[in-house]
Chain A
Amino acid sequence: RKEVEQDPGPFNVPEGATVAFNCTYSNSASQSFFWYRQDCRKEPKLLMSVYSSGNEDGRFTAQLNRASQYISLLIRDSKLSDSATYLCVVNPSGNTPLVFGKGTRLSVIA
């Protein structure tokens, strides 16, 4: 089983739609979790950290399910500018490097 798995997509959704991405991780001792977005030919930008209690930032909601070892990202009222690749990132433990998923590509269509 790969360490961090994501559906590569692409997810093609109309403006205003709600879209959700899931990501599973294999190391049950993983301690911290993040969602990054990456636009084409740009650097990854931190979207949000994911906390055990779940957290929301505007139209974006992240959830963590430790029992099932998955994290999710929900985007409400999608905008054209949300089109990007969304990277699920897990920090296993200690000083172990971050583990990146391969990314889920989202295209929001007018």
Chain B
Amino acid sequence: DTEVTQTPKHLVMGMTNKKSLKCEQHMGHRAMYWYKQKAKKPPELMFVYSYEKLSINESVPSRFSPECPNSSLLNLHLHALQPEDSALYLCASSQEQGPGFEQYFGPGTRLTVT
């Protein structure tokens, strides 16, 4: 089973709202990722967690705040977003961080900021 689940599927939020995206995997993977994808573009990496510790932050604005409560869960807390943050937010996981480990993506949360 290579399933990564994400909730919610769709989210519309105003620029003053606070919301959270959730991601879960039960494959025993120790690396988890957040990506942002705009239409007709490839996914762009935002954050990597390895063994529940933040490993990579790709200079993401502080209005995006990741959290890894345990090895199966990954959250992305959103606050004071801008309309240009509207995108598909993808979570992925892999057995470990590093070369040779395939990443499996969740279905994504389609976010619209109004």
A residues neighboring B (CB under 8 Å): 31-32, 34, 41-46, 49, 87, 91-95, 97-98, 100-103
- The dominant DSSP class at the A interface is loop
Additional pairs, 20, CB under 8 Å, beyond known A44-B43, A94-B99, A95-B48: A31-B100, A32-B99, A32-B101, A41-B110, A42-B108, A43-B90, A43-B105, A43-B108, A44-B90, A44-B105, A87-B42, A91-B99, A91-B100, A95-B55, A97-B45, A97-B48, A98-B45, A98-B103, A100-B43, A102-B41
Question: Is B99 within 8 A of A42, CB to CB?
Answer: no
Question: With A and B bound together, what is the CA distance between A44 and B91 in angstroms?
Answer: 11
Distance in Å: Cβ of B47 to nearest Cβ of chain A: 10
Complex: chain B residue closest to A96, CB-CB:
B99
Complex: chain A residue closest to B104, CB-CB:
A46
**Which residues of chain A have C-beta atoms less than 8 A from B98's C-beta?**
91, 94-95
Distance in Å: Cβ of A53 to nearest Cβ of chain B: 15
Once A and B bind, how many residue pairs between them come within 8 Å at the CB atom? 50
**Which residues of chain A have C-beta atoms less than 8 A from B101's C-beta?**
32
**Which residues of chain B have C-beta atoms less than 8 A from A103's C-beta?**
42
**Which residues of chain B have C-beta atoms less than 8 A from A94's C-beta?**
98-99
Question: With A and B bound together, what is the CA distance between A101 and B50 in angstroms?
Answer: 24
Provided the pairs A101-B42, A103-B42 are in contact, do residues A46 and B97 lie with their beta carbons within 8 angstroms?
A: no
Q: Quick one: which of B55-78 are within 8 Å of A by CB?
A: 55-56, 58
Question: With A and B bound together, what is the CA distance between A71 and B50 in angstroms?
Answer: 28
Complex: chain A residue closest to B103, CB-CB:
A98
**Which residues of chain A have C-beta atoms less than 8 A from B105's C-beta?**
43-45
**Which residues of chain A have C-beta atoms less than 8 A from B88's C-beta?**
41
Q: Which of the residues A31, A34, A43, A46 comes within 8 Å of B106, measured between beta carbons?
A: A43
**Which residues of chain B have C-beta atoms less than 8 A from A41's C-beta?**
88, 110
Question: With A and B bound together, what is the CA distance between A102 and B37 in angstroms?
Answer: 11
Provided the pairs A32-B100, A43-B105, A91-B100 are in contact, do residues A97 and B56 lie with their beta carbons within 8 angstroms?
A: yes
Question: With A and B bound together, what is the CA distance between A56 and B108 in angstroms?
Answer: 29
